[in-house]
Structure 1
Amino acid sequence: MEFDDQIRRFFGTDDLGAVSPEGLASGIERMRVEFGLETDKGRRFAMWSLLYMLGSAPDLDVAFKDPADREAARTFMDLLDKANAREDG
């Protein structure tokens, strides 16, 4: 699942900046519900990643049963934090 596909699927647009606060909350809620039902590891990780970027991801121990998946999520978080620090600095 590609990033743009997720944005269109859950928020109905290619531009998150154009989504109203209510639309954003609604899309996040739909995404969290679908995340809980998803069984494909790759799709779950993609949804969790977008939820993380939106500040709404479930905790790692809740989101991922497999320790390797939790470690991959920690790596993603670290990489995103480093990228954000470079933009800010």
Structure 2
Amino acid sequence: MQFDDLMLRYFGTNDMNAIAPGGREAGIDRMRVDFGLERDPAKRFVIWALLAMNDAEPDLSEAFETEAEREAARNLLDLVIMAKGGD
């Protein structure tokens, strides 16, 4: 799964700044559906990560079955927070 491909699939563009507010919500809704249907752990993680980048990620305990997956997600969240200039 390429990031640009996911952006095009869910938002119709690969430029995050070009997404209209309504388009963002529609894309998030599509991601949530795909996340719920996806069974491949790696693909689920990628969709979850894109949801996290849009502040729409499901709770870790509901999203991932194993502690290793939850820890990887926590690490990603830490990186996202740092990239946004958080503490």
TM-score of the pair, normalised by structure 2: 0.91
**Aligned match of 1:53:** 53
Gaps of 5+ in 1: none
Q: Deviations along 1:9-45, whole A, 9 cap, x unmatched?
A: 1111111211111111001000000000001111111
- Aligned-pair distance for 1:84? 3.0
**Aligned match of 1:76:** 76
| Matched position secondary structure for 1:58 | coil
**Aligned match of 2:66:** 66
| Cα distance between partner residues in 2 of 1:20 and 1:84 | 20
Number of aligned residue pairs: give it.
Answer: 86
TM-score of the pair, normalised by structure 1: 0.89
1:8-87 alignment, distance < 5 Å: 8-85=8-85
State the one-letter code of the partner of 2:51: L
| Cα distance between partner residues in 2 of 1:55 and 1:62 | 16
Mean CA deviation greater in 72-81 or 60-69: 72-81
| Matched position secondary structure for 2:84 | helix
Greater relative contact order, per chain length (Cα 8 Å cut-off, separation 6+): 1
Gaps of 5+ in 2: none
